[in-house]
A and B are shown apart, each in its own frame.
Chain A
Amino acid sequence: MTLTRLLTALVIPLALLTAPTFAATAANTETEQAGITLQQLQQTLAAHELVKGDFEQVRNLSMFSQPLSSSGHFVLSRQQGLWWQQTQPFPVSLVLTKNKLSQQFGTEAPQLMNADENPMVFYFSHLFLSLFQGDTQKLQEQFDVALSGDADNWTLALTPRTPPLTQVFTSIVLKGDENLDKLELTELRGDSTRISFTDQSHPSTLTQEEQSVFAL
């Protein structure tokens, strides 16, 4: 009996994603263009241990009178995880590692969350980490993948294959060259979120500050 409690309790967090549902979109089959293969893309994106740069996020939701913009800096470490340092419109520091999530607003004390305590919280976080890292292997588990373009200008279109994602997104599109430059998430009702990355560089080591940030 306790096992069924576990089952029921588990699927609850997913339910929030699915409140009103629509039919899932048709699945695309994986295609490989002549220009670049998935494997090559994976290799390209994995080539650098560290990626640093600026980001700009624009959330274009129909319920807002104007798009919601935010910007800041990011540090992506293959080993450590992601540091998302929003500066506009208000300062927030988000640190996401394999099993921890820390959130710090301005000068308040950081809030720390453990993946072990509630892995479902990390469902989206890890999805994003896979997107940022262009982890095509992991993404293929949940999406139908279509890759087009060449090594200098590729587009990776992801179509969700399994719930709960099918009930949230129609598509997720990644664009880039040596780096991931653009990420666009389109929701079922047409609302979208675009994140673009600029000024990307590949330092060989983390700074002292960055190291301490990741050491949660």
Chain B
Amino acid sequence: MSLPSELHHGKASRLAAVIWLACLLLAIAVLAVRFMPLISGQGQSPIETNILKLLPQNQQDPLAQKAFEQIAGAMEDKLLFLVKAPDDATAVKAASQFSEQLTSLDWLTDIQGKITETQQQAWGKLFYPHRFSLLTPEQQQRLSSQPATQTQKVVQSVYNPFSGVTANELSNDPFLLFRDYLQSLGQQAGQFRLDNGFLISRQTAPDGQAHSYVLITARLSGSPYSPSLQARLPELTLLEQTIAHTDFNGQQAQVLHTGVLFYAAFGTQSAKDEISTIGLGSLLGVILLLLIVYRSALPMTLALVSIGSGLLCALAACLLIFGKVHLFSLVFGASLIGVSIDYAFHYLTDRLAAGSRWNPVAGLKHIFAAITLGLITSLVGYLSMLVAPFPGLQQLALFSAIGLTGAYLTVVCWYPLLAASKVHDAPLPQLRLLNAALAFWQKPGLRYLLPSAILLAALFGLYHVHYDDDIRQLQALPEGLQTQEAEIKAVTGMGSTQQMLLLRARSEQALLTALSQTDHQLQGLKAEGKLTSFTSLGTYVPAEVQQKLNFELITQLYRSQGDKLAATLGMKQAPVAPEQFAPLTLTEFLASPASDALRFLWLGEQELGEDSAGKFASVVLLSGVNDARAIKALAANNGDISFLDKADEISSLFGEYRIRVTELLLLAFGLIYGLLTVRFGWRQACWVILPTVVASVAGLAVTNLTGLPLNLFNLLAVILILGIGIDYSLFFAEQSRHKELAGSASQATPARQSTLLAISLSAATTLLSFGLLALSHTMAIHSFGITVLTGIIVAWFLAPVSMKNLSTRREGA
């Protein structure tokens, strides 16, 4: 491989530089178009932070995907607050003040503090006209087997001053059936009651003290992932602090909160913080290194130009292709700093070593083969990831590949022009250290001994390593938010799980029947403690068949018991049986303001193929699932029911990803080895690839030492080790090959020294970037960092073994 002859001519090389400049300007234009609206505060950020967007959609079941989206959509913009105080009065006072202040935040809508009269009546208004078609299962049983007990119950309730039976109620519903029906629906309310219009509950807090909790909810005016919305969060924090610092007649109150927004904002913030510390640390480290080694600002500027142009191309290309760039791709893209700068290092170190003999075009020629081969092997490594059907991996692969190519082109097209000036003759810095390191590898046997020893140790570690794909393990959630959520969950019984059943049927009525059957089964599981609660439309809208049965039972009751009731209570007129069957329809239910919060459970009629299980679908939300197997068994018994568990699904996806990445890595190693054999022959190719193989195994095995389970992100790190590690040994192999072709041993030593210096610089910058990543609190980033850290150290250390005939040619120190 040699430099294309056109580049030897100044004209052609100038042309290449101009073309490349045009490409970069184009990339800048693309970015400007996308980011401009942000500056004026409009439009969505083209940077995606939702980790779920990295994952493929559920392709097997589009309906399941739709269900997830609908449920997530209904949940993600909700905020839930509990105002906590030592007594009811303080809690209500604080809640009243807090909900009032919330209305001042224009990014919140539907603030639900005090329940209005209209809201209180909405349910009554919806169900009341249909009271003769609605019965609880208990009532159905009683009315069909012993209707006389219902009469007895009415008589007792009328006398009981505590039952609250009014004349109004008695004349509209003489058998007092409706109150029990509503009561049974209300049972799900758990431990809350109304106090001055606020929902309040008195419970023992985790600290063992009894507290009063008032529930307040609100909705965001936009997506919780929107950065502009997240930026307003401090306004809310301020309100919460105001409440905490207010004195309510000598009592204190406190606001607890939960909601996707708080987690999303935390995620964005910590990602931002980490990227800026890591990015800044890496940048400062690189600048410092370059200044020390090259003793001039020019190389530093050049290096930054190549990195910058790489990132620019990658970002622009990704935005063009995917519309958005995921934060993770950006973080991973930071690895470009570690890889692409290598090309600059080799060129600049050559320039440093050449001193006054420097010829910019010859210099490029000198390293052209090595960096081109380095680029090709890296591209093979990255692009093999493109095969995977996972959008996250694809974006990542493309981002890295394009960024790398961009940086490479900058070196090839611009460096000979930009770095034409010569430097003063001076020995390479740390020459003694470099020589000592090179001499170290001349010791016979070390070439076999050291890699084998490291490999053995790593394999031993790898043997003990275990996998854990559970996504819940990967989320580093802030402790404060988690304890608040736990307390809210304990008080309200509401968790943030996204476990659900998806039911489908051929018709609306069949679906309602299926829902009520499932409800019945879930009721049983609930009684066994296998889940805490569920939310199903079946609870609210019985199938018409069932309503008809209810209607018949009720008319039967009026006929058989009406006179008896009238006689016992001395009614002027015996209650008259209803004449018209007026069932509650789903359409009516969904149109009522009362069903506002439940409407999202209905997926409605689906445009699906003829052979699909059913056209109508609805979701049953589950919470507090203690025994997922029981739920799965319920779903397995019926082809029209599926159990959906987002966390589970993501975890299994992660597992799939992990296996796929492992396969692709093996494929990439194979392809790269194939490439290397073409250039170096199979024996030498073995030596070139060996350090990277050992480094990869060691990088994975190190997780054993940290005690953390292995996950997908460790494997993603191996992609990086592959890309960078191969370069290290490649340069050694290339320069020894070059020297062999030249047949002169005298030039070998400076060349080796400059190679070792260049790869040491590159390893140092990579470690600066990823050593910091290992400090991340985000488990995924930490896993990634720790593997890269270990792998790069090993790859750098072992790289010299790829020099040809290492131990036979002794070089003086």
A binds B: yes
Tell whether, in the assembled complex, residue A1 and residue B120 are in contact, meaning their CB atoms are under 8 Å apart. no
Interface check A26, CB cutoff 8 A: no
Residue A188 at the chain B interface, CB threshold 8 Å: yes
Q: Is B346 an interface residue (CB 8 A)?
A: no
State the Cβ distance, A201 to closest chain B Cβ, in Å.
21
User: Which among B115, B125, B160, B493 has the highest number of chain A CB atoms within 10 Å?
Assistant: B160
Contacts of A1-23 to chain B: CB distance below 8 A = 1-21
Q: Which of B177-185, B280-288, B319-327, B549-557 forms contacts with chain A? A: B177-185
CB distance from B78 to the nearest CB of A (A): 7
| Nearest CB in chain A: distance from B27 CB, A | 43
Q: Is B196 an interface residue (CB 8 A)?
A: yes
Say whether A6 contacts B492, CB under 8 Å. Answer: yes
A205 CA / B597 CA spacing, docked (Å):
52
Instruction: Please give the distance in Å from A14's CB to the nearest CB on chain B.
Output: 5
A100 to B573, CA, bound (A): 36
Interface flags for A143-154 (1: CB within 8 Å of B; 0: not) read 000000000000
Nearest A residue (CB) for B163: A124
A residues near B159, Cβ cutoff 8 Å: 57, 59, 68, 70, 86, 89, 92
Nearest B residue (CB) for A128: B162
Which residue of chain A lies nearest to B76 when distances are taken between CB atoms in the complex? A1
Residues of A within 8 A of B613 (CB): none
Q: Which residue of B lies closest to A193 (CB)?
A: B161
Asked if B569 is at the interface (CB within 8 A of a chain A CB), the reply is yes
Q: Are A94 and B171 in contact (CB under 8 A)?
A: no
Distance in angstroms between the alpha carbons of A75 and B119 in the assembled complex:
38
Does A128 lie within 8 Å of B186, measured CB to CB? no
The reply to whether the CB of A206 lies closer than 8 angstroms to some CB of chain B is: no
What residue in chain A is nearest B497 (Cβ atoms)? A2
Q: With contacts A1-B621, A15-B182, A64-B570 known, is A6 near B168, CB below 8 A?
A: no
Asked whether, in the complex, the Cβ of B196 is within 8 Å of the Cβ of A141, the reply is yes
B83 to chain A, nearest CB (A): 14
A8 touching B598 by the CB < 8 A rule? yes
B194 near A63 with CB under 8 A, answer no
Main SS class of interface, A: mixed
Chain A residues with Cβ under 8 A from B217's Cβ?
3-4, 7
CA gap between A4 and B119 in the complex, in Å: 12
Cβ-based interface call for B101 (8 A): no
Task: Find chain A residues with CB under 8 A from B182 CB.
Answer: 12-13, 15-16
Bound Cα distance A80, B229 (Å):
52
Contact present for B572 and A64 (CB under 8 Å) = yes
Cβ–Cβ contact A18 & B171, under 8 A: no
Interface stretch among A27-35, A41-49, A113-121?
A: A113-121
B57 contacts the other chain (Cβ, under 8 Å)? Answer: no
B570 touches A10 (CB 8 A): no
Query: What residues of A have a CB within 8 angstroms of the CB of B621 in the complex?
Result: 1-2
- The distance from the CB of B777 to the nearest CB of chain A, in whole angstroms, is 29
Note all chain A residues with C-beta closer than 8 A to B492: 2-3, 6
Are B166 and A65 in contact, with the CB atoms below 8 A?
no
- Residue A78 lies at the interface, judged by CB distance under 8 Å to chain B: no
**A9 x B74 contact (CB < 8 A):** no
| CA A70 to CA B535, docked complex, whole Å | 43
A6 contacts B121, C-beta separation under 8 Å: no
- Closest approach, in angstroms, between the C-beta of A119 and any C-beta of chain B? 4
- Cα separation A94 to B127 with both chains bound (whole Å): 31
Are A62 and B172 in contact, with the CB atoms below 8 A? no
Q: How far apart sit A89 and B533, CA to CA, in the bound complex (Å)?
A: 42
Question: Which residue of the partner chain, among B188, B191, B199, contacts A5 with CB atoms under 8 Å?
Answer: B188
Q: Is A54 close to B, CB under 8 A?
A: no
Given contacts A19-B168, A92-B160, contact A3 B80 (CB under 8 A): yes
Q: Can you list 29 contacts pairing A with B, beta carbon distance less than 8 Å?
A: A1-B74, A2-B621, A3-B494, A4-B217, A4-B596, A4-B598, A5-B188, A6-B215, A9-B186, A9-B187, A9-B189, A11-B120, A14-B194, A15-B121, A15-B122, A17-B164, A18-B121, A64-B570, A65-B572, A68-B159, A70-B159, A119-B191, A119-B192, A119-B193, A122-B193, A128-B161, A162-B196, A187-B168, A188-B168
5 more contacts with CB within 8 A, not counting A6-B192, A7-B217, A92-B156, are A5-B188, A10-B192, A16-B179, A57-B161, A189-B167
